[in-house]
Amino acid sequence: MPNAYISGTGFYVPPKVVTNDLLSKEYGIDTTHEWIVQRTGIEERRFAEEGVGTSDLAVPAARQAIERAGLTPRDLDMIIFATLSPDHAFPGSGVYLQQKLGLCDGDSPKFVPALDVRNQCSGFLYSLTVASSMVQAGTAKHVLVVGAETHSAALDLSAKGRTVASLFGDGAGAVVVSATDEDRGIRGTYLGADGRFADVLSQRVWDIKKRPFVKLDENGVGQVPPDDLWARMDGKQVFRNAVERMIGVLMQACADQGLTRDDIDLFFFHQANLRINQYIAQQIGITEDKLVSNIQRYGNTTAATIPILLAEAEQSGRLKRGMKVAMVAFGSGFTWGAAIVDW
C-alpha cells in the first residue's frame, strides 16, 4: 500500500487589504483596532472584489500547488474542494475549478471526479482524510485538495454584526496529495463531530422544512429575515468547546502515533482566534517558536487557514522536508480534526 504525502502547496489571497480601522471607517462597523486585536489578535484581512467568486480564488492557489508538486493539471486524478462559501448553492465549486484549470478543454478532456466538502473550519482536514484514503487505497495517485472562502460577500457589516464580521477574510490554500513508496507522509488523521451544538455557530439563509423554503412577498420576491441572512455565533460556547476538542484530538493523535508534544516540530492550528490558539498552546506546553500563525494578516479564512499556513511556511523555508508536523482544526457543527504528517 503506498503512502500519501503532500507533494505541493499553494495559496492565494486577494490584493485588497482591509485593516481594523477600515472596517470602522469604510464599512461603518462599530469597532476599533484595539477591540478586535485584544479579543482575536486580528489586525487585517483580505476582501475579494465584486465579481470574484470562491472558485476564482482557488485557481491560482491550485495552480501553484500543482506546479510545486512538479505536475500539470492533467496529472490530477481527483479534486476535493472544501468551502462554506461555494459559488452557488449547487453545483459544488469543485466542478467550476475543474473547468477553470482546463481539464474539460481540448480533444482529450480529463473528467476527474470533483467532490465538495462542507465542514466549515474543519473542512480541510476532512478533505485531507478523504484524499489520503484515496491515495493509500490505490484509487488515485494525485489528489488536489483546496480550501477556499469568499466571506466578505456574506458578512453583516453593521454595528450588530461586528463580533462575527471582524473575524473573517477571503483566501484560498491548496495542497496536492500524492502516492509515494518512501517512508513519509500523512501518518494519521483523526476526526470528530458533536451535533448537539449545530446551531451555536450557523447561517440559515433558508429552511428546507418551509414551503417555500424562502418566504416570498406579494411580488414573489424572496425575503430572508436578517437574523437568518447572517452568520450567528455564541462566542463563549465556541471558545470553550474549541479549547476542549482541539486539545483532545491533538492528544489523541499524538498518543496514537506514539508521540509527545516535543516530537512535533511545527503545529498548524486553524486560524479562528489567536487567543484560542495561544491558550491551547499554553495548556499543552507548546513553545511559541513551534506555533505557526498568520491570523494577524488574514483573519479567519475557515477551510483555507491550514493550507495557507502550510504554503507560506514551506515557501518561506520554515517548513522543511523531514519535519514532523501536527494540524488541528475546530469549527461549526461542531466538527474537529487533527493530522500528523512527516513532511
Active site residues: 121, 270, 300
Q: Please list, residue by residue across 285-310, b when 16 or more beta carbons sit within 10 angstroms of its beta carbon and e when fewer do.
A: ebeeeebbbbbebbbbbbbbbbbbbb
- Write the Ramachandran bin of 225: left for phi over 0, alpha for psi from -120 to 50, otherwise beta: beta
**CB-count exposure of residue 317 (10 Å: 0-12, 13-18, 19+):** exposed
Contact in structure between 234 and 271 (CB atoms under 8 Å): no
Closest CA to 94 of 75, 109, 80, 112: 80
> Other C-beta atoms within 10 Å of 181: how many?
8
Q: N- to C-terminal Cα distance for the chain?
A: 19
Closest CA to 86 of 1, 147, 14: 147
> Which residues, at least 6 apart from 221, have a Cβ–Cβ distance to it below 8 Å?
none
Tell me how far apart the alpha carbons of residues 104 and 107 are, in angstroms, rounded to a whole number.
9
Tell me how far apart the alpha carbons of residues 343 and 339 are, in angstroms, rounded to a whole number.
12
Tell me how far apart the alpha carbons of residues 124 and 174 are, in angstroms, rounded to a whole number.
9
